[in-house]
Amino acid sequence: MAGEKKFSTSLFGFKKQHVNDYLERLNKEYEDKIKTKEKEISEVRAMYRDIKSKYDDISRSLEQIQEDRERIATALITAQEKAETIISEAKLQALSEKKNLEKQVEEEKEKLVDIKEELKILKVEVVDKLKKYEGELSGFISE
């Protein structure tokens, strides 16, 4: 912009054409500066929109990540609780099975003892029968 301007004088003051030219030049300079500033403002607004759009995208992504993290944490906790329940139930079932098997083993041992006793009795009976038959055979042979 022009600084202090000196106009040439005419009969009744300054020359009208010089003043008009100066004002038109000042007006053009201001309009150019306004256009430049409006262009800069427009560029800043576009950058703002881009940055805001990126921020919104990142914000949505962050929210989604947080939701996913919460779902994963909940799933892990649920899975861990389920696993602990399954392990606990399996231990209880294993103990029950062990008791049943020990009971069956004890019953089978008792049966085995009973069978051994029966075998002893049978053995004694067989020996007695054999002695009886031997005595009778000896009696037949001596007769």
Q: Return the domain boundaries, the chain.
A: 12-142
For β-strands 13-14 and 9-10, DSSP reports them as antiparallel
Q: Give the pLDDT band (50/70/90) at residue 109.
A: very high
Specify the pLDDT at position 101: 97
Compute φ and ψ for 71, nearest 5 degrees: -60, -40
Specify the pLDDT at position 10: 61
Q: What angle do CA 56, 59, 63 make, to 5 degrees?
A: 140
Place of tokens 């929109």: 49
The chain-wide mean pLDDT, for the chain, equals 90
- Please give the model's pTM, rounded to 2 decimal places: 0.46
Q: What angle do CA 30, 34, 39 make, to 5 degrees?
A: 150
Does position 1 have pLDDT exceeding 50, yes or no?
Answer: no
Question: Please, are residues 7 and 14 in contact by the beta-carbon 8 Å criterion?
Answer: yes
What would the mean pLDDT of 101-121 be, rounded to a whole number?
A: 95
